[in-house]
Amino acid sequence: MLKVGLITKFPVDFYDTMVDAVKKYDAEHADVEVIYGQGKSGTDDEGVIAIIENMITQNVKAIAVTPTSPNVSAALDEAVAAGIKVVLIDNDIPGWTGKSSLVATDNLAGGKLAGTWLAEKVPAGSKIALLQGRLGNPSLDDRIKGFKETFGSKATVVAEPATDCDQTKGLNAAQDILTAHPDVAAIYGACGPPIIGALEAVKAAGRTGNVVVVGFDAAPDELTAITAGDQAASVAQFPAKMGSLGIETAVKAARGETVESVVDTGTEMVTKENVARFS
């Protein structure tokens, strides 16, 4: 029996979907035992470090982990030193060379997809706002960078506050933006929760339908808003694929098989036209 670990950031739909996919894999593979661990929040470095250390003592042969930040790399170094293979899921740790593979969305490509899509939806010279995620998180930063690369100078970016992927911070940021720039044509967000907050602000300002709101994650609340016509679009990720491919890659690495250094789990634009396929 090969024992491997799965560590996800915190209990939200995105990571729960990932865990469910791994549980399915676990049930179908009698020769593999998966140990599960989850942090309490998206910034719970201490919790994730404690889980990593606990898995080392349980003698797992591989750990698939969604790292909260580079602060967990020292604990992962301990795992590698103990002969444990490490596969990063969803987020990379830039410059950390201990990983066997990164299984994740190509976030730069996802940002480019959003930028290309939105550039066709707003008039030239419009004002737009960007809601950033957690600054310094490479995945979230790439979603903004990719957006800017393809959106170009089609419109003026009037604000790009950080929201830490928090719904209340997204609400507050969007309220400030709508107050300072009542003629803003579009809001793009690097993650789902702040976009839900932005939708609340847009509704309160009586601008629903006038502001093109585009998110990233295509979380259940976003899909509901897209179906209702309140949100224009979102970039879908595939957390189930991240989970299944992540654990498959970890098992292969533990068995000494060759694995890809990067496994791209894909992105797709979700709009009212195709939302039924994702709901």
Contact by Cβ (8 Å): 248, 24: no
Q: How far apart are CA 5 and CA 157, in angstroms?
A: 43
- DSSP secondary structure letter of residue 72: G
pLDDT, tens only, 129-164: 999 998 888 889 999 999 999 999 999 999 999 999
Q: Per-residue pLDDT averaged across 97-118, rounded?
A: 97
| Residue 43 pLDDT > 90 | no
Contact by Cβ (8 Å): 150, 112: yes
- What pLDDT does 253 receive? 98
| Residue 169 pLDDT > 90 | yes
State the pLDDT confidence band at 50, using cuts at 50, 70 and 90.
Answer: very high
- What pLDDT does 134 receive? 86
pLDDT, tens only, 180-205: 999 999 999 999 999 999 999 999 99
- What pLDDT does 177 receive? 98
pLDDT, tens only, 228-256: 999 999 999 999 999 999 999 999 999 99
- What pLDDT does 157 receive? 96
Question: Scanning the structure block, which residue is given the tokens 């847009």?
Answer: 202
Helices (H), the chain: 13-28, 45-57, 73-81, 107-119, 138-151, 167-180, 192-204, 220-228, 239-254
25-32 contacts at long range (C-beta below 8 A, 24 or more positions apart): 25/243, 25/244, 25/247, 25/248, 26/247, 29/251, 31/1, 31/2, 32/1, 32/2, 32/3, 32/4, 32/251
pLDDT, tens only, 53-103: 999 999 999 999 999 999 999 999 999 999 999 999 998 998 999 999 999
Q: How far apart are CA 149 and CA 108, in angstroms?
A: 9
Q: Is 257 exposed, middle or buried (0-12, 13-18, 19+ CB in 10 A)?
A: exposed
State the pLDDT confidence band at 42, using cuts at 50, 70 and 90.
Answer: confident
Angle at 145 between CA 139 and CA 147, to 5 degrees: 105
- What pLDDT does 14 receive? 87
| Residue 279 pLDDT > 90 | no
- What pLDDT does 58 receive? 97
Q: How far apart are CA 28 and CA 159, in angstroms?
A: 48
Nearest to 172 by CA among 141, 142, 204: 204
State the pLDDT confidence band at 277, using cuts at 50, 70 and 90.
Answer: very high
The number of C-alpha atoms within 13 Å of 70 and in the hemisphere containing its C-beta is: 10
| Residue 264 pLDDT > 90 | yes
| Residue 15 pLDDT > 90 | yes
